[in-house]
Amino acid sequence: MLAIEKLTASYAALSAISDISFTLAKGARLGIFGHNGAGKTTLLKCIVGAHAPSRGQVVYDGVPIAAGNIAATVLRGIAFVPQGHNVFPNLSVEQNLKIAGLLFDASFVTQVYELFPVLKARGPQRAGSMSGGEQQMLALGMALMTKPKWLLLDEPCTGLAPIIIETVMKRLDDVNVRFGTGLCIVEQNVPAALKLVDRAIILKSGRVVFDGAARELEAQKDLWQWF
Ligand SMILES: Nc1ncnc2c1ncn2[C@@H]1O[C@H](COP(=O)(O)OP(=O)(O)OP(=O)(O)O)[C@@H](O)[C@H]1O
Ligand SMILES: [Mg+2]
């Protein structure tokens, strides 16, 4: 279980998130939404230990996440895919995947290729020469090479064409169903993400203003009232 307990974080004098609490059962699918600057990225960074909260804590399977040691968090099974194409542009697609899985199981690349056949087809290609959507899939594939129990994704669909967004969402669904990987997805494309997740949290000025079923939010005529 992943428990976010009264999490408060700031950057110097600027408060970014305040008193956020929620728990996620193994394999849960959560969408985190909110305007620019609402604190979504800060929340993910605190969960993965990339930013130290000023109050509160994140507890994973009974043990707190240590701030400042992302590698330790990844080894514990929480992978983070930050915004943008986080691949090694000068290495091949296959080299990127193998490096990501270096401390884990290099043979898992076969399963990543099954999920993303485009990566198999492009194995020898220089990662930096792939399209935006392909690089996003590679970044996802790299995160999967760490065999995560949780996948934290910061705006994975930014800049992608609608058809590619559909593919990325479908693959995330597959990952959740096949491996039981929990998903925490921050996304500006709320309608697309709501189709994938079961639960939604909306942040406004660093606070939770909605926490409920994704279907409930989807059914609302004016869901933007929350933003
Ligand atoms: N490294 C930083 N130094 C100072 N302030 C920061 C830093 N990172 C974020 N902030 C501030 O913290 C607040 C929350 O930012 P955060 O990046 O978490 O928002 P966000 O919801 O992810 O926004 P976006 O949708 O634009 O990505 C914002 O006011 C932002 O300016
Ligand atoms: Mg952000």
Ligand 2 center–CA 41 separation, angstroms: 4
Query: What is the per-residue pLDDT across 126-178, written as a single tens digit (0 to 9) for each?
Result: 999 999 889 989 999 999 999 999 999 999 998 888 988 998 999 999 999 99
Residues forming beta bridges with residue 135, ordered by sequence position: none
CATH class of 80-148+157-179: alpha beta
Which tokens go with 226? 């929350």
CA distance 62 to 199: 22
What is 1-76+197-227's CATH number, 2.60.40.60, 3.40.50.2000, 3.40.50.300, 2.60.120.10?
A: 3.40.50.300
Q: Is the CB of 11 under 6 A from ligand 1?
A: yes
Contact 43, 203 (CB under 8 A): yes
| CA of 42, closest atom in ligand 1 | 18
The answer to whether the CB of 41 is under 6 A from ligand 1 is: yes
**E-strand stretches of the chain:** 2-11, 14-24, 29-33, 55-60, 63-64, 78-81, 150-154, 182-186, 199-204, 207-213
Give the pLDDT confidence score for residue 160 in this predicted structure: 86
Tens of pLDDT, residues 29-62: 999 999 999 999 999 999 999 999 999 999 999 9
Any ligand 1 atom below 6 A from CB of 224: no
Intrachain domains 1-76+197-227 and 80-148+157-179 with the same fold: yes
pTM: 0.94
- With the most atoms of ligand 1 within 8 angstroms of its CB, the residue from 41, 203, 204 to mutate is 41
Instruction: Tell whether the model's pLDDT for residue 85 goes beyond 80.
Output: no
User: Is residue 38 lining ligand 1, measured as CB closer than 6 Å?
Assistant: yes
| pLDDT computed for residue 84 by the predictor | 84
Average per-residue pLDDT in the chain?
94
34 ligand 1 Cβ < 6 A: yes
Q: What average pLDDT score do residues 4-24 get?
A: 97
pLDDT tens figures, 206-220: 999 999 999 999 888
Asked whether 193 and 187 are in contact (CB, 8 A), the reply is yes
Confidence (pLDDT) at 223: 78
Whole-number pLDDT of residue 161: 87
Domain boundaries, the chain: 1-76+197-227, 80-148+157-179
